[in-house]
Amino acid sequence: MNNNDIIRPENLVYKKPSLLNDAHMHYCPGCSHGVVHKLVAEVIEEMGMAEKAIGVSPVGCAVFAYNYIDIDWLEAAHGRATAMATATKRLMPDKLVFTYQGDGDFAAIGTCESIHSCNRGENIAIIFINNAIYGMTGGQMAPTTLLGQKTATCPYGRRPDLNGYPLSITPLLAQLDGTCYVTRQSVHKPASVRKAKAAIRKAFENSMQGKGTSVVEIVSTCNTGWKLSPEKANQWMEENMFAKYPLGDLKDVESKG
Amino acid sequence: MNDKVTLMKGNEALAMAAIRYGADGYFGYPITPQSEVLEKLEEEMPWETTGMVVLQAESEVAAINMVYAGASCGKAVMTSTSSPGFSLMQEGMSYMAASEVPALVINVMRGGPGLGTIHPSQADYFQACKGGGHGDYRMIVLAPASVQEMADFVGLGWDLAFKYRCVSMILADGLIGQMMEKVVLPEQRPRRTQEEVEKQCPWAVTGRTGMRPKNIITSLELDDDIMEANNLRFQATYRLIEANEVRCETVDTDGCDYLIVAFGSMARIAMKTMELAAQEGIKIGLLRPITLWPFPSKEVAQAAAGVKGILVPELSAGQMIEDVKLAVDCKVPVKHFGRMGGNVPTPEEVLEALKKELINA
């Protein structure tokens, strides 16, 4: 028996989502982005929303998300993705509008837009990748960088007296009346991937049902920025990131009055 | 009397003209002296009638990026602000120019720099006409001199923006924004349907209707040759705009001895100066640029032929004067007169300046 005998339609249990194209991804091996992109593409396909979906990509590692997922995209200025999503959804309420942002984009330069979009209860979904570092620009300190964590701009480890504290932004957003669903997930194990996918689906469905803003934080790895192998990065994330950013639902309002 | 004539503030005329044009959205942040635009829109509730979206954003930065998104979706969207807010919007202006999306941005200027004053100024001429954001880009800049033109330039601005896929801006000042005048508003046009938007703007981000190939609006291009080609395309559009869209008004320029080149409210004041001068036998002509970019260089040169000198009164330290000097190649004396800090000169002051700088110099 060779591979061709095995690869038959009746034997297929898994396939690449049709909305994920064949472009070579620029993400590093082991990075969480690739998995999350796949989940976003799968969910849009499964919801039958390919003709209605509009993504807003950030400045950061996911800047080229528009090259990989075959839907219409806006590429925002650094931090402004939720402002763009706000206008897009308000002007075309029947579309599925979501942002895909990293920690620098969402929780540093874009904090004002992030908080106010959530507070207005915009009917958008926010995918927030938190890997505690600026990957795209070469590993500088992020708002979510842990105390003691070494980066290019805190080379001796983050110190609160010099650099302030790591910002846990999703619990803040959960307190706002405009958010309907705020959750923290990861994609480092098969079980966590399945949970993250369910969370993304729920966020997208919420936005189409007009329930308010949904925020899905994905606590992620950046093995290049962290200077760890993919396996060690996963381990470091479990041991360090999850203590500061524990996984689970922070808010889930099934229906709002 | 035409029963369609109404009396309103320049800022209110902007709001009403936007609704009448069939605008899709306004996104703005309050700042004096133009807050009546947002106030009037909220009062009119166009979302109940035409379906126009009106949103008070959390900042000018958010507002301009909402406009950027709406424009990227092929919608007729706008914002209005005043000088400090316009500074905050410069990043968005640059991105919109780079993405070749049509939008309308209004700056009702106040005196700067910094927080400055809430009173009228024309000191954002450089910022509007020479590119306040980064990179090589231009915007069509319309300078209204009356409440009627405030209303008229809303539609004109959008028409030009969609024609060239560029940003149009209305560069008014606090005086035009705040003063009340007679105005005839345009007839109500229906908003375009989504189908019409997608037909007019096949490039727009709308979702992949009918599973057409995806549309992406981005200002990013890391391949230097492609980015240079993008820039050459932008420049070709700007040359086209320069060739087709220059607008200006001339008054009594034939056989005049002196020429005043002024825009906006300063041109209105200069009209009175001309009357005062005529009583003294001084023949002054006026050239009022309506498009500040593209600047009416040929028209200025033509009007300047044979004059003894040109006065360029501005509510600034002298900004447009540089374009006037370039237009006449410094062959004619070109002198500046200006007030700053929110002060507005009287017609008499302008005449005194003309005498001092050009006649008795």
CATH assignment of the domain containing B333 = 3.40.50.920
pLDDT value at position B2? 57
Both B45 and B171 in one domain: the answer is: yes
Q: How near does any CA of chain A get to the CA of B51, in Å?
A: 9
The answer to whether B216 faces chain A, any CB pair under 8 Å, is yes
On average, the pLDDT of chain B sits at 97
Q: What is the percentage of chain B residues whose pLDDT exceeds 90?
A: 98
- Structural domain includes residue B136: yes
For B27, other C-beta atoms within 10 Å of its C-beta total 29
Write the DSSP symbol of residue A107. Answer: I
Contact between residue B38 and residue B54 where contact means Cβ atoms under 8 Å apart: yes
- Which range (A6-10, B54-58, B111-115, B297-301) has the least confidence? A6-10
- Is residue B341 a part of any domain in this protein? yes
Instruction: Determine phi and psi for A206, rounding to 5 degrees.
Output: -55, -45
> B147 and B267 share a domain?
no
Q: In angstroms, rounded to a whole number, what is the distance separating the alpha carbons of residues A43 and B238? A: 43
* Closest residue to B65, CB basis, from A54, A66, A77: A77
Q: Stretch B110-131: mean pLDDT, rounded?
A: 96
Q: Hey, is the C-beta of B179 within 8 angstroms of any chain A C-beta?
A: no
B251 and chain A in contact, CB less than 8 A: no
Contact B92 A77 (CB under 8 A): yes
At B125-160, the pLDDT tens digits run: 999 999 899 999 999 999 999 999 999 999 999 999
Spans of chain A, pLDDT less than 50: 255-257
Q: Which domain holds residue B266?
A: 248-359
B144 with B82, same domain: the answer is: yes
CA dist B20 and B259 (Å) reads 37
Contact A77 B220 (CB under 8 A): no
CB contact under 8 A, A77 and B75: no
Residue of A50, A56, A90 with shortest CB distance to B208 = A50
- Chosen for mutation from B61, B214, B221, B226 (greatest number of chain A CBs closer than 10 Å) is B214
> Residues B270, B140: one domain?
no
- The sign one gets for the Cα dihedral A135, A140, A143, A145 is positive
CB contact under 8 A, A91 and B77: yes
Domain check: are B160 and B26 in the same one?
yes
Structural domains in chain A, sorted by start: 22-252 (3.40.50.970)
Per cent of chain B over pLDDT 70 is: 99
Q: Is A75 helix (H, G, I), strand (E, B) or coil?
A: strand
Are B142 and B260 members of one domain? no
Residue of B106, B109, B94 whose CA lies nearest to B220: B94
Assess whether B155 and B258 both reside in one domain: no
Where does the pLDDT of residue B168 fall: very low under 50, low under 70, confident under 90, or very high at 90 and above? Answer: very high
CB contact under 8 A, A51 and B210: yes
The letter for the amino acid at B306 is G
Which residues on B lie below 8 Å from A51 (Cβ)? Answer: 207-211
Q: What is the CATH number of the domain that holds B155?
A: 3.40.50.970
Residues of chain B positioned with their CB less than 8 A from the CB of A88: 69-70, 72-73, 205
Q: HSE of A103 in the Cβ direction (CA atoms, 13 Å)?
A: 27
For residue B33, CA distances in Å to B16, B88, B111, B182 come to 17, 16, 11, 20
Asked if A87 lies within 8 A of B211 by C-beta distance, the reply is no
Nearest CA in chain A to B95: A77
Per-residue burial over A157-189, b = 16 or more CB atoms within 10 Å of its CB, e = otherwise: ebeeeebeebbbbbebbbebebbbbbbbbbbbe
Give the number of residues written for chain A.
257
Average pLDDT over residues B273-285: 98
Per the domain annotation, does B26 fall within a domain?
yes
For residues B264 and B178, give the distance between their C-alpha atoms in angstroms, rounded to a whole number: 13
Instruction: Give me the residue from A90, A95, A113 closest to B207, CB to CB.
Output: A95
- Same domain? For B64 and B179 the reply is yes
The ipTM value here is 0.96
Does B55 contact chain A (CB < 8 Å)? yes
Closest CA to B357 of B313, B311, B308: B311
Q: Is residue B299 part of a domain?
A: yes
Give yes or no: residues B120 and B18 share one domain: yes
Closest chain B residue to A63 measured between Cα atoms?
B220
Q: Is the pLDDT at B197 greater than 50, yes or no?
A: yes
- In degrees rounded to 5, what are phi and psi of residue A175? -75, -15
Q: A88–B53: do the CB atoms touch at under 8 Å?
A: no
B148: in domain = yes
Smallest CA–CA distance, residue A152 to chain B, in Å, is 24
- Judgement on whether residues B47 and B168 belong to the same structural domain of the protein: yes
Q: Kindly state whether residue B215 falls inside one of the protein's structural domains.
A: no
B70 contacts in A (CB within 8 Å)?
Answer: 87-88, 91
Cis omega (within 30 of 0) for bond into B33: yes
**Shortest CA distance to B4 belongs to which of B15, B22, B16?**
B16
- Asked whether residue B236 is domain-assigned, the answer is no
* B58 vs A66, A72, A116: nearest CB: A116
pLDDT of residue A255: 47
Residues B23 and B150 in one domain: yes
Residue A231, number of CB atoms within 10 A of its CB: 12
Number of domains chain B is built from: 2
Residues B186 and B269 in one domain: no
Residue B335 lies in a domain: yes
